[in-house]
Structure 1
């Protein structure tokens, strides 16, 4: 199959040839005299052909821009700019093969995706890209369509590039079955000095499985019928909106899945949601959930970063190595505005400066006692220990009738996968810190 750039060059050549054959001679006539009715019809046809080629070129432009974003994200990770901690090689214990993507590896290049029997050849032949398929679904009827693996992988990678937990280094595991078992080490072997000729005490590592079980999330993008029909960049806008919606919900569930109270309006019962970091820590390692004072915790002049340092060292004290901090923009703003007694901005401690920092605005500001709408949570950890299972294939569904009374169309993308902290002790949460108003 030709590359996108090759298709782009071919379309440019075809558009130029079509115009030179049919449009240019008529344009020269128009400069000298009025068209005859037949010439008017031929010129309208030539112009329509030219505009159709231009629309296809615009769609390819959008696709190349999305691929550029994905490539930039991959290069950023490969270059170490996100300080992703060295990860374990995760093994699918059902197959004995490597389970996860490397930090800079495309979803489509993983063996699970390459071995998939792609049933989307008809779609690939009929549409130039995923955006064209979205537009066709929106303007040509109702129903649903399984996105071909080629485009599905691109949408997954685009969502991955927009997800904060993925940027922080979460491990992506392509799932070619509803349930996938990933082997993990639960106990390390130990070493000890011994007297000459004395017995060696056996100390074996222990293992178990993390089970990823596919669950479904759906993202709805809505627009007017006229917008879907007329907007030059509708394809790019819709695809990027779907990717952003998927990424945002992944971030929220990775942090708060299983939480139904105590964090503002968040209510993510398990099931159907996966269990995220806070719920996993509450259930299995409560000591790594710190803070949560009755009236929240306000920062104190002279020790302004103490709580964030306590958060980082909660992970370090458990022999884990945090690589990134995730918080809300309101909490980041609160710390960025901190000044000393002379009004000079406070310098971040080196232990904070050494971590990558990511903003997730789905982290709420909530009320904690007398701290009204300013309590927020901060998460630190080795994010390579967060497993995100991604089921192969995405389904698109068009909703014409639901919004017919307002002249709108909805496009729903159904994503399937799971989220599991592989080692909960690799994470810690500081609850109810004071955020900016």
Structure 2
């Protein structure tokens, strides 16, 4: 049964999902007149330049809290170990396809957030809620498809949690922490935060995400600088491997070009969530005066999560030459091994495990919130509390299950999430363009804040 599931998943990510993601990203980029490139300076000014600014309008949490909550789900184990997994299964060339997906993914994420804000509603607790299930139901007028998206995402969260946990457990094992201890530790801390709701999640995320990202990036940059003579070779491996089959050696089994593209696309989508629509669930709670203004924070997320952190992770394992020493099932140990080449086993392993803990912790907290909102949409708020407990139990599953098998389950369910969301986004592309034009053509709005 598992072999059949793996074959189906490989086919889905080799053809249909790749066509939908790349094709959809190109369509939305053309629809929005390549704005992520032509208005790049403005986007930086409105995001990186406005991190501490206050905002006016309706909403539950600040735009930056919404962005960091969404980043908490995108900057997770996928950024530290997702890239090594892609390299272990598709070779260094997978990084090129990850970059390509990210560039076109900017327009997708921007579009999703615009629709999320436009079609958000207030729930029975007085909080703003939204996401693909709402804009598919109320915008595209396809309630059955919105229900299907919510179902796929509710299921996808479980293997996603297990993946995050397995990544942390593998990293912690390099400094001799038992899996059951790692799992128990995660459950206690994650449970405390998720029972505090979106406001507590937002407050924790705006403090934790910048700290954890900064620590990890500084450590990685130090290692890359020390191995800077290997940097040209690393880039050569990426660009050459993107279009040519790669022979196996060491722990790397080799990869065909199709396998390379699949690995880069799958891990790229998971690293920044463009095309999945999931980040709109956090952004829909943001205080903002226009949907497009909040949409710019989606591009901010892609820049930070994929083009910055994922790229550093790739260069880390390539410049230290650890990438071919581990197979796919042990790929989560690559970053730790790479850091240890410079900082030693105890200190280096300890730092990367701490970073992994913070990344995994913040990701699981936010995606549980996402999963609860799907359960609430489908079956009501009482059932969402039951799903919260089930999700917490999947931390234990991730502590004991093989990482490579969890990845197959994750990619299979992720394909359903992407397919249903992309139908909604493409059907509503004219509304996205109208909202975007109304923002960029309004000098008062553009000059505001």
TM-score (norm: length of structure 1): 0.24
Compare the two structures and name the one with the higher helix fraction. 2
**Taking CA–CA contacts closer than 8 Å with sequence separation of 6 or more, which of the two structures ends up with the larger relative contact order?**
2
TM-score (norm: length of structure 2): 0.23
> Which of the two has higher C-alpha Rg?
1
Compare the two structures and name the one with the higher strand fraction. 1
